[in-house]
Structure 1
Amino acid sequence: MAKLSRRQYLGGGAALGAGLLAAACDALSSRGEGGTGTEAEPTAPADPRLRIPPVRKQPNGRSQAIEPVTLRVLFTPGGAFTDFKAKGSQHHVAELFTAAHPHFTITWQPWEFLGAQTWEQVLNLIAETAAAGQFYDVLQLWDSVPADSGTYGALLGLNRFIRRDRFDLADFWPGCVPGGTWEHDLYSLFTEVETNLLFYNRELFLSAGAPEPTETWAWDDLLLQARALTQGEGAGASYGFTPIQFKDGSNWAALPWIWGNGGDMFNEDQTRSVVDQPAAVEALQWLPALRHTHHVWPTAEQLRQATATEQENLFTLGKLAMLYSYRGSLGTEVTAAAYGQPKHSVAVPPQGPVRRANILFPWPAFYLGGATGVPDEAWSFLRWWTGEEAQLAWHHGRAIKGRNLTVPQTHPPARRSLALELVDWFGETDVAALEHAEMRRPQAKGNRLAEAFNKGLAPVWQGEQSVEAATARVAQEQNAILAG
């Protein structure tokens, strides 16, 4: 089995507006956070470039339990989660929670200690322990759970709590809700999100006399400048543009281009593949043409000649003008582009012929265990942990400081209001791009459908098969999976 990936099942669906958010959870209404609270001093050192708001103390999500209660939290190690005993951000936020809820005791268990080493093993373990009546009250996983894992039966839907407490979902980025919904019930809340951006090398634009990307750019503008910025041959060549392809072989990066042309992978009720329909086919023809017709996207051989093992390396070497990627794929010095560094900068991806579209990466995902004996207390923890006080404290503790560089190490908050408050950290470009970011909701047989898409499109990028032949085969395989 493949090792656990933080980007396992990412895809797209239409972004839901406030009306759809309300319908998904039966006409939710006013925000259930309660009170404005008082302000405390910021935990991060003052920096005139940041203007970060102080941590707010709010009584949101407090349990009404009187007796002491112990919550078992299963979490995925990674980053600040790796060593919980260290006084890092997670430890600090947990201390804030127990200080506000003194009758709670939180026990933290990394899933790796349970014997699971792969994503599939994690999902099987969740289902097995729930069937045995032994489960965790709260689960934190790096990815949303695919519907075909059978895991949703071991989780507790959140709609009952959302209706009861009139918990407002409108502050979460629109793409977060469909990404955590299964059979009309919301199962997960996210704390951080990320999306693809258009990173570009300002020095290459300046030397070529090309105008820098703007928010009004369309596909044709990108192609025009990418051709002007592609120069030279062999080891001395520089290239105009590359769309990121995930290191695990996934082709989900193609989805926003399909959406931008008015297409999708499946029809509205997800019963039939439409990847072979004109809107999707046209978008998928446009992408490989960048490589095989216009030669602005380097081939594997050209990457080797440029001594770059991956497309991200080509960008950091100064041999690629534009990279369509996510911040986490690049080093800190490059992602500091959003904060005024001179060599690199960042823009929103270009608008498609039909609309602007982007892909949403939400993580981590928090769930409630279906077999929890303290559901109200587990919900109280989940609600608080994904709320304003906890997330401000989290980002305060995760800033990278030193070398005249103060930038966030984490992704933008899943709450739009907090992302706007911390806009000096993440940049207006990130916020603007997130407004159009989408994620496909969990789908039955989703892993098999994704595999058919990924394998079926692989020959297209290498110029080994036509888009028409590849998409026809993908649609045939996906429809067979859906009908099976």
Structure 2
Amino acid sequence: MTSRRSRMPAPSLVSRRRFLESAAALVGLGLVGGCSQPAPPETRRSSEPVKVTFMSWGIPTAVEIRQGFARTFTERNPGVIAEFVHVPTNYWDKLQTMLAGGVPPDVFFMNSYFFTSYAAKGVLLALTPLVKRDNFDLSDFHPLALRNYTYRDVLYALPRDLDSRHIIYNVELFARSGLEPPSSDIKGPYWPFDRFLQTAQNLTLTDNQKRIVQYGVDIQTDFPYWISFVYTNGGDLFDESLTRVRLTEEPAVAALQYLQDLRFKHRVAPTPEALQEQSGLQMFYSGKVAMTMGGAWQVGDFRKFCKFEWDVALLPVGATGRPITGSGGVAWAVAAQSKHQEIAWRLCQFLTSKEAQETESRLGNTTPTRRSVARSPAFLDTQGKPPKHMATFIDAQDILRVPPQLVNWPEINQALVRELDYLWTGRRPAREVAQAIKQAIEPLLATGR
């Protein structure tokens, strides 16, 4: 359910429904599949500057950063003009339209979950031949990040970030309630599900008319969040062969029911109705929610909008006793249809360079994929600003589970979102939802590998 915006600014996030519908529409583009190859060097008259475009969504801070990147790349490359295109909403619709019309941006954001469907259709330029030709060093990139954008042993995008999912909590509300904050150390001790619930209950406050004025936690319902609870409870979405749905097994059902119960049974998380006036993030910014869920890409916004001390911690752990987090992130890809592939390749390298990742890290806009940046002061030195445990974002890269590589993941995810809506709105219990997911998705797995 979509909440109306309040006057408090919020991140310009991509609409989940539009994201899924647009990505699924890729199937209908009819673009040629296979491994795309670099085009011959482009020719031009020396007096004509070449314009290359790069496109992404992003919050205002990110837009400013990328506009700066465009200026820097232009200054360093005579005869070239780099232009940043910001698409604040309906990004995937815009990208599909441009691809179908044969006029895509030269370089653009690619999401790790939907990457395989794009690579399989041949709309992304194969980068492995260019990497080998130019001896481009990939060793600084986190191996999982490179894996996210490799299809059939070919690299198709350079990773910008490698995100983990976390609890973000209001330090002042914990102190006011006399509660111990959650753990930020991946070595433990960890918060089990029952303790997390108890803490959320203690942080949920009502007025004299029994109306909730402060919630303990706001749950996020995007895939990387809920699957993290399933993983840590010993469950999974698919079996290893990617032929069978496992959400109907008890560990997965219990994890999904736990999340629904936070909203409707225990009433420690705002319901969709409660989120009509303010989003969960806006409620956190205003102190009406003590804990939310998020990642390092939001640090800049948390610093901007939170007028209190806040910090980052691990998600609670289930029956396995181990923290596990779903992975996300984006990369910069080059369009196979680009008329300026060589320049676009240079731009792609620049956007994922150590210099660029350091710039984004200082402003709290990414979890860097370059390990030299991840452990550097550019990311870890907060200069006295929250969060205190910034290193937790990087430490959590050791407990990531990367997404499955399925060509028809957009269609599969559409089915997930459709059926899980019954869970998040309290209309059906987890077991019934899981069974519906199994029935909807298992036929798709036969064609997804």
Considering the TM-score relative to the shorter chain, is it more than 0.5? yes
User: Residue in 2 aligned with 1:125?
Assistant: 98
Of residues 426, 429, 434, the one that matches 1:471 is 434
Of residues 315, 329, 332, the one that matches 1:349 is 315
> Does residue 222 of the first structure (1) align with residue 196 of the second (2)?
yes
Q: How far 1:71 moved relative to its partner?
A: 6.8
Q: How far 1:72 moved relative to its partner?
A: 3.3
Assess, with a 3 A threshold, how the Cα gap between structure 1 residues 332 and 378 changes in structure 2: closer, same or farther.
Answer: closer
User: Residue in 2 aligned with 1:139?
Assistant: 107
User: Residue in 1 aligned with 2:411?
Assistant: 448
> Does residue 202 of the first structure (1) align with residue 171 of the second (2)?
yes
User: Residue in 1 aligned with 2:31?
Assistant: none
Task: Answer yes or no: is the 8 Å Cα contact 2:107–2:335 preserved in 1.
Answer: yes
After superposition, residues 151-300 of structure 1 pair within 5 angstroms as: 152-164=121-133, 167-214=136-183, 215=185, 216-220=189-193, 221-233=195-207, 234-235=210-211, 237-245=213-221, 250-300=222-272
**What root-mean-square deviation, in Å, do the aligned CA atoms of Structure 1 and Structure 2 show?**
3.9
Task: Answer yes or no: is the 8 Å Cα contact 2:62–2:365 preserved in 1.
Answer: no
| Whole-angstrom CA distance in 2 between matches of 1:303 and 1:295 | 13
Assess, with a 3 A threshold, how the Cα gap between structure 1 residues 332 and 371 changes in structure 2: closer, same or farther.
Answer: closer
Any idea what SS the aligned residue of 2:375 has? helix
Assess, with a 3 A threshold, how the Cα gap between structure 1 residues 356 and 159 changes in structure 2: closer, same or farther.
Answer: farther
Of residues 371, 380, 391, the one that matches 1:416 is 371
Task: Answer yes or no: is the 8 Å Cα contact 2:296–2:365 preserved in 1.
Answer: no
| Whole-angstrom CA distance in 1 between matches of 2:13 and 2:272 | 26
TM-score normalised by structure 1 residue count: 0.68
| Whole-angstrom CA distance in 2 between matches of 1:461 and 1:128 | 37
TM-score normalised by structure 2 residue count: 0.73
User: Residue in 1 aligned with 2:325?
Assistant: 358
Q: How far 1:297 moved relative to its partner?
A: 2.0
| Whole-angstrom CA distance in 1 between matches of 2:99 and 2:43 | 30
Assess, with a 3 A threshold, how the Cα gap between structure 1 residues 160 and 330 changes in structure 2: closer, same or farther.
Answer: closer
Moved more, 197-206 or 119-128: 119-128
User: Residue in 2 aligned with 1:93?
Assistant: 72
Any idea what SS the aligned residue of 1:243 has? coil
Any idea what SS the aligned residue of 1:324 has? strand
Task: Answer yes or no: is the 8 Å Cα contact 1:71–1:106 preserved in 2.
Answer: yes
Q: How far 1:108 moved relative to its partner?
A: 3.4
Unpaired segments of 5 or more residues in structure 1?
Answer: 10-63, 400-407
Assess, with a 3 A threshold, how the Cα gap between structure 1 residues 412 and 477 changes in structure 2: closer, same or farther.
Answer: same
Letter in 2 for 1:413: P
Q: How far 1:81 moved relative to its partner?
A: 7.4
Task: Answer yes or no: is the 8 Å Cα contact 1:261–1:352 preserved in 2.
Answer: yes
Give aligned-pair identity as a percent.
Answer: 23
User: Residue in 2 aligned with 1:75?
Assistant: 55
After superposition, residues 285-324 of structure 1 pair within 5 angstroms as: 285-301=257-273, 309-324=278-293
Letter in 2 for 1:229: L
Assess, with a 3 A threshold, how the Cα gap between structure 1 residues 200 and 186 changes in structure 2: closer, same or farther.
Answer: same
| Whole-angstrom CA distance in 1 between matches of 2:245 and 2:268 | 31
Letter in 2 for 1:5: V
Structure 1 residues 81-114: Cα deviation after superposition (integer angstroms, max 9, x where no partner): 7689xx952134314642xxx5x624537487xx
Letter in 2 for 1:199: I
Q: How far 1:218 moved relative to its partner?
A: 2.5
Q: How far 1:467 moved relative to its partner?
A: 1.1
Any idea what SS the aligned residue of 1:237 has? strand
Any idea what SS the aligned residue of 2:269 has? coil
Structure 1 residues 123-178: Cα deviation after superposition (integer angstroms, max 9, x where no partner): 3532552xxxx776x41226355444577413222223344555454433444223
| Whole-angstrom CA distance in 1 between matches of 2:86 and 2:364 | 23
Letter in 2 for 1:312: L
